[in-house]
């Protein structure tokens, strides 16, 4: 699938998701088990990105690393991880 087709597919899916989602009210608590599970996804997406890079499927590699980065950004925003600044 071309990068353009992938882009259209993911944008369309995310537009529907954003339109249909419902925000929860009040504070939320995130358990250590949940954070560990999300960090497992981070590692899996990083592994996928490296695999697809090695297969020369660069568009798919970029998609995987973007998912990885998004999960880390979310964990950082809720205070679950600290990410040191680049030197």
Q: pLDDT tens digit string along 6-22?
A: 889 889 999 999 999 99
Residue 59 falls inside a structural domain: yes
Q: Name the residue with tokens 């353009």.
A: 4
**Assigned domain for 46 exists:** yes
Domain presence at residue 10? no
Residue 49, domain member (yes or no): yes
DSSP letter for 85, please: P
d(CA 52, CA 68): 14
In angstroms, the CA 47 to CA 43 distance is 6
The pLDDT value recorded for residue 86 is 60
87 pLDDT higher than 70? no
Q: Is residue 21 part of a domain?
A: no
* Mean residue pLDDT across the chain: 91
The alpha carbon of residue 65 and the mean position of all alpha carbons in its chain are separated, in whole angstroms, by 7
Q: What is the pLDDT of residues 11-70, one digit of tens each?
A: 999 999 999 999 999 988 999 999 999 999 999 999 999 999 999 998 889 989 999 999
> 74 is in which domain, residue-wise?
30-80
Per-residue model confidence (pLDDT) at position 61: 92
Report yes or no: 43 and 49 within 8 Å, Cβ to Cβ. Answer: no
């Amino acid at each position: 699938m071309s990068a353009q087709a992938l882009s259209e597919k993911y944008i369309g899916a995310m537009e529907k998701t954003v339109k249909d989602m419902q925000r929860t009210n009040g504070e939320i608590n995130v358990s250590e088990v949940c954070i560990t599970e999300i960090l497992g996804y981070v590692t899996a997406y990083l592994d996928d990105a490296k695999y697809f890079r090695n297969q020369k499927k660069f568009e798919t590699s970029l998609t995987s690393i973007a998912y990885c980065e998004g999960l880390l950004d979310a964990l950082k925003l809720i205070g679950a991880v600290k990410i040191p600044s680049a030197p």
